[in-house]
Amino acid sequence: MAAKSLFKALAPVLTVALVVSLPFLRPAEAVEIQKVTSPKGVEAWLVEDHTVPIIALNFSFEGGSTQDPEGKEGLTRLLAATMDEGAGDLKSEDFQAQLEKLAVSISFDTGKDRFYGSLRTLTSTLPEAADLLELAVNEPRFDDTPVERMKTQLGAQARRNESDPDAIAGRALASAMFGSHPYARPTLGTAESIAGLGAADLKAQHARILSRNGLNIGVVGAIDAETLKPLLDKVFSSLPENTGKLPVAELEPQFGQEIARELDVPQTTILLGLPGLKRDDPEYQAAYVMNHILGAGSFTSWMYQEVREKRGLTYGAGTSLSPYEHTGLLLGSAATKAESKDETIKVMLDQLRRMAEEGPTEAELHSAKQYITGSYPLRFDSSGKIARQLVALQNSGLGIDYFDRRNSEIEAVTLEDVRRVARRLLADKVPTIVTVGPTQG
């Protein structure tokens, strides 16, 4: 398909790219971001780099699967799957043929809070790529045949999820912690909800989500600001300024429940859920460092060391921060033999208590900060990664100077900062615990 063709088209410059990727692998402070505003007021953040003739454009719209009307779960996910299946005068097969011919990649996706899109093109095909992106964003066709094909694919995936332990655990945890909030609804939807969707639903959802208000754009590659400005107007200026998005309330997740789902699989999946932090919380960086020590630091984390290395209960155990726009979670996960489930959960809970009551040592804090700051340039080793980062910064309201500030913010985290946020998130908290697996023998 188009992605394979893009790889073939880039093959002549791959040798060069292996070398010129090194400038991308540089301190974040070296990434110069320009704020570009088009004549019609469309704004984008641009990192200009002409080392290879490639342009990466990422964008997001406010409103993701939380905008699915009740009973139409999966609608926004289906929208993402069908917006490049024909647009304007081009039917699905013609649109896809143009992408392949030009070695252009256009894709769409959705999360809970935002709807995402991306473009990858060579500079030589930028005008044609911009034409196709304009059509996909503004005039998707939603013809019956491709819509039914995408519904069949997504419906099959939803049915597979009904017997997938990770998916079952995720749905159970979301239902328990989010209750009736839209975050509790599966982004993919269900086989039944997907089957009931149609072109009219897609057109209404497209009109609801795609607007200039809340639009964030990041562009990286061989393009300057003056060339970018008319492209921004071409693709995005015709969108309405505001649309009738469904309001989404702030949420305090519920915790303290224990949920068991029986499933005939080799291992038991374990999920722990506690309230976390939103990305704009002043203590987020301290929580990020704390979480690295607790469970995100792979081989060095407390969870990995205590659950796997010392006791051999699982191949891996970890934790993660999940900031949403309207709430935040701290999640723990592991998979183990059914007979080891209770011991694994106990060891994981012990690490949560240990972090809340004792916190890390100075040496652990130093090691965590050294890793977090040292690995940061890996987020900048390709144009696509940088474009995604530019959009993520705008989505979170972190400011155009965040790349310059980020590592110094991590370095400024003190042992007391980590211990304070650990007490805030973990002290006297009982997580919601979900297990999915065979009956314990």
Query: What is the per-residue pLDDT across 413-439, written as a single tens digit (0 to 9) for each?
Result: 999 999 999 999 999 999 999 999 998
- Which of 236, 270, 287 is the endpoint of a domain? 236
β pairing state of 43-48 and 216-221: parallel
Model confidence at 369, pLDDT cuts 50, 70, 90, reads very high
| Stretch 365-376: mean pLDDT | 97
* Per-residue pLDDT at 29: 52
- Average per-residue pLDDT in the chain? 93
Q: Are 310 and 423 members of one domain?
A: yes
Percent of the chain with pLDDT over 90: 90
Angle between helices 284-291 and 415-426 (to 10 degrees): 90
- Which of 205, 236, 267 is the endpoint of a domain? 236
Q: Are 70 and 208 members of one domain?
A: yes
Q: How far apart are CA 344 and CA 257, in angstroms?
A: 17
* Per-residue pLDDT at 381: 87
Amino acid in position 384 = G
| Stretch 95-112: mean pLDDT | 98
Q: Is the pLDDT of residue 15 over 90?
A: no
Residue 11 lies in a domain: no
Q: Are 230 and 263 members of one domain?
A: no
Which is more confident, 181 or 5? 181
Provide the domain limits for residue 297: 258-437
Model confidence at 28, pLDDT cuts 50, 70, 90, reads low
Q: Are 108 and 210 members of one domain?
A: yes
Q: How many CB atoms lie within 10 A of CB 41?
A: 12
* Per-residue pLDDT at 212: 97
DSSP E strand boundaries for 86-174 = 105-110, 114-122
Q: Are 338 and 401 members of one domain?
A: yes
Q: Are 231 and 264 members of one domain?
A: no
Model confidence at 297, pLDDT cuts 50, 70, 90, reads confident
Q: Are the CB atoms for 285 and 410 separated by under 8 Å?
A: yes
Q: Are 39 and 175 members of one domain?
A: yes
* Per-residue pLDDT at 298: 79
Q: Are 205 and 268 members of one domain?
A: no
Residue 166 lies in a domain: yes
Q: Which of 7-21, 27-41, 111-125 has the highest mean pLDDT?
A: 111-125
Q: Is the pLDDT of residue 264 over 60?
A: yes
Residue 6 lies in a domain: no
Q: Are 316 and 209 members of one domain?
A: no
Q: Are 346 and 393 members of one domain?
A: yes
Residue 278 lies in a domain: yes
Residue 380 lies in a domain: yes
Output the domain CATH number for residue 116: 3.30.830.10
Q: Is the pLDDT of residue 113 over 60?
A: yes
DSSP helix/strand/coil, 301: coil
Residue whose C-alpha is closest to residue 118's, from 31, 176, 181, 55: 55
* Per-residue pLDDT at 356: 98
Residue 74 lies in a domain: yes
Q: Are 362 and 424 members of one domain?
A: yes
Which is more confident, 23 or 393? 393
Model confidence at 265, pLDDT cuts 50, 70, 90, reads very high
If one counts the domains in the chain, the total is 2
Q: How far apart are CA 32 and CA 386, in angstroms?
A: 11
Residue 217 lies in a domain: yes
pLDDT digits (tens, 9 = 90+) for 328-339: 999 999 999 999
pLDDT digits (tens, 9 = 90+) for 150-185: 999 999 999 999 999 999 999 999 999 999 999 999
Model confidence at 20, pLDDT cuts 50, 70, 90, reads very low
| Stretch 16-26: mean pLDDT | 38
Q: Is the pLDDT of residue 97 over 90?
A: yes
pTM: 0.91
Q: How far apart are CA 389 and CA 359, in angstroms?
A: 31
* Per-residue pLDDT at 18: 30
Q: Are 271 and 230 members of one domain?
A: no
Residue 21 lies in a domain: no
Name the strands in the sheet holding 114-122, side by side, starting at the edge strand that comes first in the sequence: 34-37, 43-48, 216-221, 54-62, 114-122, 105-110
Residue whose C-alpha is closest to residue 52's, from 4, 8, 19, 101: 19
* Per-residue pLDDT at 262: 97
